[in-house]
Structure 1
Amino acid sequence: MSRISVRGLAVASATAVTAVGSVVGVASVSSAQNNDAEATAADATLLADIPVGQQAPVQTASLTQQADAQAMAADASAKKDAEQAARRAAAETAIAKKAAAEKEAAEKEAADKKAKEQAKEKEELKKATSQSTTSDASDFPVQGSYSTAQIQAMARQMVPSGQFQCFSNIVSHESGWNMNAVNPSSGAYGLFQALPAGKYSSAGADWRTNPATQIKWGLNYMNSSYGSPCGAWSFWSSNHWY
């Protein structure tokens, strides 16, 4: 064997030993590295395979791709957040509209109920006040004197039955059914304590001697001023005058 051959064999042997050592070294490090290190080593290996003059453009392209991917991910996240916010806003708007509609319906129902009740009360009042009386003041002959029972009997025939109790309450408080009652302080006179007493004349000239004429005047006054005797009594109960 020549000197050159021996030298080549030595070089080859040294190269083989180096290669074996490299393999052993690589195998011993593998278990201690994480995924990011492996990815970096892989990228470095791939980059090492590229000619030196082309490595920079490749690195730039890789960074651009990463930036694009990150931007796309950010856009997708922002879009998802916007969609969720829009859904929440739509749900809140729907709830608010439903609550407003329910409130409006409840208010309308209450208003309708109140209107019906008022219409019913008005109709009942109209019916009560429009009832024709069985007698008028002219239907009763004038007497020299009248008992309380006789005056009340006249009133029952002239006042609608549904209104008589209210009518009677006022007369009882004002005069005690005394057609000649006089208030010593004011001069108010008669069953209804009219002031001045001459007001009774609008119902008849015999108002001083005929209780039916006073009853007619009192009934007309209650109907025109308060809608009915019960309307007058309601006012009297609160104010003690009418």
Structure 2
Amino acid sequence: MLVRRRVLSILAVLATAGIVLVSVADPYAGARASAFYREPVLAKPAAVQRFAIDGGFVLVAVQRDRFTTEIVGGDGVAAAPSGPVVPAGTAQAYAAGVVASRGWAASEFGCLASLWNRESGWNSRAANPSGAYGIPQALPGSKMGAGWQTDYRVQIRWGVGYIAARYGSPCGAWAHSQAVGSY
């Protein structure tokens, strides 16, 4: 019994010492950490990609699973969307961000632009007599989810997800569309 108590006592001391050693030696513990370990992850520069769109280009900065976009006109000046109808450039800028956030190359956006130029002209209210609707021409349109009738972002997210699941990438969908006439 005495031996058992002594062993437990020694283990308790070792456990306490181990915790102390970890807090002294661990660079993630706080005060002793170098400046490198204290920098927030988001402070690192984002990867920026450039995508050609109608009338100019869009710059997409991707950090983790978030992205920001800036539409730049052919003259190099930032362009602001105007009017109640979403311009094709705004929808394309958002789509470029979605493509970049999936880790796809800029060439994949080129395929997506070609595909959706042919399908809907990037019109979020494009309706086909067959019942296909929106930018990606979903059939039926309601399967895109809440906001499917007017929200270009809902349509683009659904369309890119559909393309990724069915064809692997926008260039895969574009190649299929070229061969068959639809995707």
**Bigger CA radius of gyration:** 1
Amino acid at match of 1:199: K
Greater share of residues in helix = 1
Amino acid at match of 2:139: L
CA shift at 1:209, angstroms? 2.2
Q: Aligned partners of 1:239, 1:181: CA distance in 2, in Å? A: 21
Match of 1:215 among 156, 161, 172: 156
Residue 239 (structure 1) aligned with residue 180 (structure 2): yes
Does the 8 Å CA contact 2:141/2:148 hold for their aligned counterparts? no
The within-5 A match list for 1:112-123 is none
CA shift at 1:147, angstroms? 1.0
Amino acid at match of 1:237: Q
* Secondary structure at the counterpart of residue 135 of structure 1: strand
The within-5 A match list for 1:63-78 is none
The within-5 A match list for 1:21-36 is none
- Which runs of at least 4 in structure 1 moved beyond 2 Å after TM superposition? 131-136
Does the 8 Å CA contact 1:133/1:158 hold for their aligned counterparts? no
Residue 228 (structure 1) aligned with residue 161 (structure 2): no
1:156 aligned residue: 96
Q: Aligned partners of 2:64, 2:178: CA distance in 1, in Å? A: 26
TM-score when scaled to structure 2?
A: 0.51
Q: Aligned partners of 2:140, 2:125: CA distance in 1, in Å? A: 14
1:140 aligned residue: none
RMSD: 2.2
Residue 147 (structure 1) aligned with residue 87 (structure 2): yes
- Deviations, residues 95-151 of structure 1 (Å, cap 9, x unaligned): xxxxxxxxxxxxxxxxxxxxxxxxxxxxxxxxxxxx966439xxxxxx943111111
The within-5 A match list for 1:1-242 is 134-135=66-67, 144-160=84-100, 161-184=106-129, 186-201=130-145, 205-242=146-183
Q: Aligned partners of 2:64, 2:122: CA distance in 1, in Å? A: 23
> May I ask how many residue pairs the two structures share in their alignment?
102
Q: Aligned partners of 2:149, 2:141: CA distance in 1, in Å? A: 9
- Give ranges in structure 2 of 5+ residues lacking alignment: 1-62, 69-82, 101-105
CA shift at 1:227, angstroms? 0.7
Q: Aligned partners of 2:92, 2:175: CA distance in 1, in Å? A: 21
- Deviations, residues 149-170 of structure 1 (Å, cap 9, x unaligned): 1111111111132310011111
TM-score when scaled to structure 1?
A: 0.39
Query: Structure 1 pair 132/216, CA: closer, same or farther in 2 (3 Å)?
Result: farther
